[in-house]
Chain A
């Protein structure tokens, strides 16, 4: 185990920034003072007192908007000299269609993965990335996503153990921990005067070779163990996992129960966008003149066009069905495919929901056997 003195943090970040983009949680300078992940610059202090950034760090690996393919059409025999057409007569150029018939086309995939270091994310965020990994790197024999994986492989994850969990934290109910190591390359645990640092992967080992680290003393190791134990106890038990998947399946048709839970939902997408695990995306084309790109953007299951079919039919037309899909995906569909849960218990969906829909309540209600008659908790 290593130790990083508090006053060595800036020099470590500076050193890392020589070879990679370094991303840290930082407080915005404006009045709102929102804490979010952003690129480190000399002098910017990581904000580690605030437990959770507004959004998770997933956008640095699974970008909200990614142009992954470009294309360019050229006309056969085109010289690149634009025709001098008369302008301002939009009604009269209907017959342009035939001219475009025989074009040539150049298509290029774009995979961008500059090296980066994510410092200061919490174990729940790191664990969220592991769940997304399953989906994007072909767990169970599915497909491999080159854009995501390239960025994932180029990223080093330095997590900082939580100091003071919130009441909305429930990582321990999902098998995680405020000092969890899933998906983490090196774990920093705050102790007196700095952090103890455990390298957990090859990338982590590489990191701790830096001269900023010294070997941890026995007392520091003990202190770290104590910190971990203490914070673990501060996370409330939100629900038991046993039977949740089966009960969600059994309660799928309990429309009354789902309606009741969803009644105050306004059907926006905040919960999915702040979630470190949600990964659904949309693909759209954008073309200007003869060139364009194919873009992948975050999507969410509350978006009406997520499932809307061309015929006008929408398999999930109602708010209730969209709502039900989100929780069923996390605790039933995903587990069935990937043998783990699509939730790491950060609680962001609860605290950022404009009407405070509580995931824990939904799981408690619909993840338990429902009494047909009353449906109410005793």
Chain B
């Protein structure tokens, strides 16, 4: 994405007024969770609208820094989801991801971020129902916490 398109299209209604809603970033692998979210949409399963999705080729591509950067930029919650272990499109990317994400998950509270604001999970392409549950539950928790009062990150 060029600088310009990013500029023009990241303009969201929420950030412009003080009484903003919440911003939740979903970082999803292309093959399972993104497809799962897609099929949930196609199946017209009701899901919260507060999630903005970033599609990555594989959870193995996700650096824990991506999630921290999202928080630093003002996200109120970050949800990472990929293929179930054993089902990675690239055979083992999510096994690597699992270690990194687990480490991040454990460190999140020590970085001054409530643990409920981060979650990593697995949703396959066919689990549109599960996607609906995961995202509803996660966004619900973040909503309960409300917008994050940012200090350090």
Contacts and interface: CB of A to CB of B under 8 A. Distances in A.
A–B direct contact (CB < 8 Å): yes
A202 interface: no
A30 to B, nearest CB: 16
B9 A88 contact: no
Contacts of A355: none
B43 interface: no
Nearest to A93: B9
B16 A85 contact: no
B12 A82 contact: yes
Given A82-B12, A88-B53, A97 B7 contact: no
B5 A85 contact: no
Interface string B5-22: 101111111001000000
B8 A88 contact: no
Contacts, number: 40
B2 A97 contact: yes
B9 A96 contact: yes
A90 B5 CA distance: 10
Interface residues on B, range: 10 to 19
Interface string A253-274: 0000000000000000000000
A289 B8 CA distance: 6
Interface string B34-53: 00000000000000000111
Interface residues of A, number: 18
Contacts of B10: 289
B12 A88 contact: no
Contact of A82 (B4, B7, B13, B52): B13
A155 to B, nearest CB: 31
Nearest to A81: B13
A96 B5 CA distance: 6
A-B pairs, top 5 by smallest CB distance, nearest first, are A96-B5, A88-B53, A82-B11, A96-B8, A289-B11
